[in-house]
Structures are given as structure tokens and as C-alpha cells.
């Protein structure tokens, strides 16, 4: 009799709403529809290196659809090909544990860093299927990633809430958002929240243009301005503001502080009182939106389909409303940035939004 198929699931990189919904979808589809065994790998690739696993049953994933975070835990420092501060290659240990667990496939959920690792293992022959997850939405070959819509919802609510205090005190309010080197979160939340000025990494800003805009608004009776700033924006000198560096991480650079830098310049150049709100990890927390719950369910089911079809080295993808598959390699080839010809940028400019250029 043929052995029951056994698949593993891991979540790597930063957490976000929608991961638990995807874990639930993979587990329930595998068990209910195909009588598979499901093994949860804990703390990302660290669990594969150290053999930290647990069997998942349907009861383990019941009720987690609405939960943020990941019940399996995660890590953005556990790169098996460059592990720890010494950057040691322990990939053979991970492969050894994969075989010890008698897994037929591994479903990896993650962003750019996790997907690069998944691709490397795939090239070494490990049967892998990936699900794209990141609030930054910077993974190529898919319109949206898990967690992005939820992060935009959190950021939009924060912008909504800051309007009243900005207007009451006649201040310039800067909301600094995550997004790394792309402006997807800032653009979508800025438009949804009615930001007067939106700064994204794809559009280098000019300080004089920003000051000109806040003074123009003040002159015409708008005694406050809402500015939405992506953490990775650069002025025309192209210099990033880096908060700190974490050597052991797959991406050692930690961005942050650009909002305070711009605030100081605005106060010095215009005399207008300016305040900064940094949302930070609030964007990663909370309940997933309905969009992310639905996308996670579809991605999870599709991932199991790809395992059964033995289409390894593939990633689930949303393209023009349809859930499909793409090679992992195509998803990590280039960082997906906001297109300057984007209809959303055009619509924002149409209603008078300034992009600092």
C-alpha cells in the first residue's frame, strides 16, 4: 500500500495577518480532501535546522482564520545558507531533517528573503511550493501578497484618526509607514486616508517642494497637512535613513527615522509645528481583513494542488483576480516597485496630492 503523503509547512520572515488563515487552508485541504499528514515546522527555517516540529490536525487550525501572527512562529534571522553572525552554511542539516521527517514536500510562506531561501533549496532538489507573504507587497509575479491589505487597513485607520488632532492644532502631521524599499503601503494607505502629501521610495522628494505645498495649504485656509511617508524614501541625494543594522538577519538593514528628519526640516524652513507618528509593527498586528482571509484560503488550497501535481519550485500567485502559479525564480528576480505610470498615482495627482517632486 502506498504511504500517505506527508507535507510540511513553515512561515518565515516577518509575521503578518493572514498567515494563520493560510496555515489553516493548507492543513484542512490536505487532511479533508487528500488524507495527507501535515507537519508544522516551528520558527521558520530555524525549525528545519533544529528539527522543531509538531504534527498539525484539524483541531489545531480550527478557529485561527481571524488571528494575526502565526501559530508556528517565525524568524527573519534563520537563513540556513548563512546562519547566525558567522554566516555558516547549515543547509545540509536542514535537508537531513527534511528527509528524517519523511516529508514529500514543504510549503514555505514568506517574503523576498524566505522565497530566496526556498528557491535555493529547490535548486538542491528539495520539493518546495511557496506562498507569497509580506505587508510590503514587493514580491514579483503576483498582484498582491498576504498581509498587504491588512497593513493598509491599519495604516488607513491611523491616518483617519490623526486628521482631527492635526486640524485642531493646525499642525503638519507625518505618518511614517513600513514598506522597506517600496511604496505600496504608503501609496494605498495615503490615498485611502486622504493624505495631502505622499512620499514613496520610487519618487525622490525635494524638500523645497514639500515646504511649498504645506505653505500653500496654509495660505489658502488649510491650516494643517497630513503627510504619509514610506520608511524607505530618499531625497534627491538618494540617501537612506537607517535606524540600525542586525548582522544575523537575512536583511540586516532596519529602516526608520525619515519622518523625524523631514519634520525637523519642515519646522526649520517654514516655522510650522510638525509632529511624527511611526506606526512600526502595529501594521503587522491585528486581525486580517476579509481580502487577506479569502486570499489566504485560495493560496493555501492552490499550494496543496501544486504539491499533488508535483509542480515543485512554484509559487501561488494572484494575477488579474485569478489564483495561478509562477516559478519562484520569477517572483524573486526583481523587487516589485510601484510603477510611476500607476493609475493610482495618476488618480492621486488628479485630486491634488503632492508626491514631493
Active-site residues: which are they? 136
3-state secondary structure 183-248: CHHHHHHHHHCCCCEEECCCCCECHHHHHHHHHHHHHCCCCCEEEEEECCCCECCCCCCEEEECCC
Residue 131: in which H helix or E strand, if any? Answer: strand 128-132
DSSP state of 111: S
Distances (CA, A) of 240 to 86, 204, 265: 26, 11, 16
Residue that is written with C-alpha cell 531625497 in the block: 235
- Helices marked H in the chain: 19-28, 34, 45-50, 58-61, 91-100, 112-123, 148-169, 184-192, 207-219, 258-270, 290-308, 328-332, 343-350
DSSP state of 92: H
Backbone angles phi, psi at 117, to 5 degrees: -65, -45
Amino acid at each position: 500500500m502506498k504511504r500517505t503523503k506527508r507535507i510540511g509547512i513553515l512561515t518565515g520572515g516577518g509575521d503578518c495577518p493572514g498567515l494563520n488563515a493560510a496555515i489553516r487552508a493548507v492543513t484542512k485541504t490536505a487532511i479533508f480532501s487528500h488524507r495527507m499528514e501535515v507537519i508544522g515546522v516551528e520558527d521558520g527555517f530555524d525549525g528545519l535546522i533544529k528539527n522543531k516540529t509538531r504534527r498539525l490536525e484539524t483541531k489545531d487550525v480550527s478557529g485561527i482564520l481571524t488571528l494575526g501572527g502565526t501559530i508556528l512562529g517565525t524568524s527573519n534571522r534563520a537563513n540556513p545558507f548563512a546562519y547566525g553572525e558567522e554566516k555558516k552554511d547549515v543547509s545540509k542539516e536542514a535537508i537531513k531533517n527534511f528527509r528524517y521527517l519523511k516529508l514529500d514536500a514543504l510549503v514555505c510562506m514568506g517574503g523576498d528573503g524566505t522565497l530566496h531561501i526556498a528557491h535555493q533549496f529547490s535548486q538542491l532538489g528539495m520539493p518546495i511550493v511557496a506562498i507569497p507573504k509580506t505587508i510590503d507587497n514587493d514580491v514579483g509575479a503576483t498582484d498582491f501578497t498576504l498581509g498587504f491589505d491588512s497593513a493598509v487597513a491599519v495604516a488607513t485607520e491611523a491616518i483617519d484618526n490623526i486628521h482631527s488632532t492635526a486640524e485642531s492644532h493646525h499642525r503638519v502631521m507625518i505618518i511614517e509607514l513600513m514598506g522597506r524599499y517600496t511604496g505600496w503601503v504608503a501609496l494605498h494607505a495615503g490615498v485611502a486616508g486622504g493624505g495631502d502629501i505622499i512620499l514613496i521610495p520610487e519618487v525622490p522628494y525635494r524638500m523645497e517642494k514639500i515646504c511649498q505645498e504645506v505653505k500653500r495649504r496654509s495660505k489658502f485656509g488649510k491650516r494643517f497637512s497630513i503627510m504619509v511617508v514610506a520608511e524607505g524614501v530618499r531625497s534627491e541625494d538618494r540617501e537612506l535613513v537607517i535606524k540600525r543594522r542586525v548582522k544575523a538577519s537575512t536583511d540586516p538593514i532596519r529602516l526608520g527615522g525619515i519622518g523625524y528628519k523631514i519634520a525637523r526640516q519642515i519646522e526649520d524652513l517654514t516655522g510650522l509645528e510638525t509632529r511624527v507618528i511611526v506606526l512600526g509593527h502595529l501594521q503587522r498586528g491585528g486581525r486580517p481583513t476579509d481580502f487577506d482571509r479569502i486570499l489566504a484560503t485560495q493560496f493555501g488550497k492552490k499550494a496543496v494542488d501544486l504539491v499533488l501535481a508535483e509542480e515543485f519550485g512554484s509559487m501561488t500567485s494572484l494575477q488579474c483576480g485569478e489564483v495561478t502559479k509562477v516559478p519562484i525564480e520569477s517572483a524573486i528576480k526583481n523587487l516589485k516597485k510601484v510603477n510611476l505610470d500607476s493609475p493610482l498615482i495618476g488618480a492621486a495627482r488628479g485630486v491634488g496630492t503632492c508626491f514631493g517632486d
